[in-house]
Chains A and B, each alone.
Chain A
Amino acid sequence: MSEAAGTMGIVVAHGPMAQGLVDAVRRIAGGAADALAPFSNEGRSPSELKEELERLAGDAPTILFADLLSGSCGMAAMVVARGSERRAVVCGVNLPVLLDFVFHRDLPLEELVPRLVAKGRDGIRSLPQAS
């Protein structure tokens, strides 16, 4: 991960999903994807997930992007972010969220997080648009 300018992101998800999302960000955004670290829950116990996420997050301001709120990834992310003003969790991560993150991670966390949640929701559309 590159800490050059702002908040860092950890994508924590089931199976190969995190790596796939970060790879997709890299194809679209290039080196900006260096701000993201993929992390899979595969083969990790709940306590290992928490310990390794804690180590990855370190001291930098960090957003933990989890795939699913009701899951071991979301749970571990919430435990790691608990009580820290420098960490936040965004559940239900999708590509629009991560793309917006890598280009706006210089924003303060309290501004960045609601922006990302809105971007994620806005990225889900049905077509043609329901009236």
Chain B
Amino acid sequence: MGIVLTRLDERLIHGQVVLGWGSQLRPELYVVVDDELAASDWEQELYRLGAGETAVVFATVAEARARLAEWRASPPRAVLLVRDVGTLTRLAAGGLYHGQPVNLGGLHHGSGRRQVLPYLHLSADDLAELVSLEGDGAQVWAQDLPDAPKVQLHSLLEG
């Protein structure tokens, strides 16, 4: 198992990911999928500082789609991170996340977004895209930390 967690989190590499999840999952690699960051050396350097000794790879969505099977098939143990719903759905388009879990870990308030959980704010468009992702076979759930309750996507729709 290469990818041990795919997580949507606006903060990408930060305390909850590195310490909260990292202490349980013990990743050897963070894969950050983001078109903008993949082209920004100085921002990559900052995120690497936050990752400690764990390796970090930055990839565009196109690059990540091309390498997803490789990352899944073999070590190192990787945590894949995206910071917005649009990137997640472009990454998963065409059923690439069929049967795969997707963790919603943190999105702050923003234009058109409403709070669905204390750590998660989603717009109607975000929700529609996530429902579509689940319709394509992904298993979408929200959970900020490993010891917090899992909340399935359908529960968020009822709120």
* Residues in A lying within 8 Å of B, measured CB to CB: 14, 43-46, 48, 68-72, 74-75, 78-79, 82
Task: Check B10 against A70 for contact (C-beta < 8 Å).
Answer: no
Could you say which of B45-53, B74-82, B143-151 contacts chain A?
A: B45-53
Cross-interface CB contact of B50 among A14, A45, A75, cutoff 8 Å: A75
Q: Which residues of A contact B15 (CB under 8 A)?
A: 14, 68, 70-72
Q: Which residues of B contact A82 (CB under 8 A)?
A: 42, 46
Task: Check A45 against B110 for contact (C-beta < 8 Å).
Answer: yes
A71 to B52, CA, bound (A): 11
Cross-interface CB contact of A69 among B42, B49, B109, cutoff 8 Å: B49
- Once A45-B10, A46-B10 are accepted as A-B contacts, the answer to whether A74 and B50 lie under 8 Å apart by CB is yes
A59 to B93, CA, bound (A): 46
- Closest A-B pairs by Cβ, 5 of them: A45-B108, A70-B50, A71-B15, A70-B18, A72-B11
B14 at the interface (CB under 8 A from A): yes
Q: Which residues of B contact A44 (CB under 8 A)?
A: 108
Q: How far is the CB of A62 from the nearest CB of chain B, in Å?
A: 18
Q: How far is the CB of B115 from the nearest CB of chain A, in Å?
A: 10
A72 to B10, CA, bound (A): 10
Describe A's contact surface by its main secondary structure: loop
Instruction: Please name the residue on chain A nearest to B121 by beta carbon.
Output: A45
Q: Taking A44-B108, A69-B49, A70-B50 as given, write out 9 further A-B residue pairs in contact, using a Cβ cutoff of 8 Å, ordered by the A residue number.
A: A43-B108, A68-B15, A70-B13, A70-B18, A70-B51, A72-B11, A74-B49, A75-B11, A78-B46
- Once A46-B11, A75-B14 are accepted as A-B contacts, the answer to whether A70 and B109 lie under 8 Å apart by CB is no
Q: Which residues of B contact A74 (CB under 8 A)?
A: 49-50
Task: Check A79 against B11 for contact (C-beta < 8 Å).
Answer: no
B66 at the interface (CB under 8 A from A): no
A46 to B83, CA, bound (A): 10
B69 at the interface (CB under 8 A from A): no
A78 to B14, CA, bound (A): 13
A84 to B14, CA, bound (A): 24
23 contacts across the A-B interface (CB closer than 8 A): A14-B15, A43-B108, A45-B110, A46-B10, A46-B11, A68-B15, A69-B49, A70-B13, A70-B15, A70-B18, A70-B19, A70-B50, A70-B51, A71-B50, A72-B11, A74-B50, A75-B11, A75-B14, A75-B50, A78-B46, A78-B49, A79-B43, A82-B46
A44 to B42, CA, bound (A): 23
Q: How far is the CB of A124 from the nearest CB of chain B, in Å?
A: 18
Q: Which residues of A contact B46 (CB under 8 A)?
A: 75, 78-79, 82
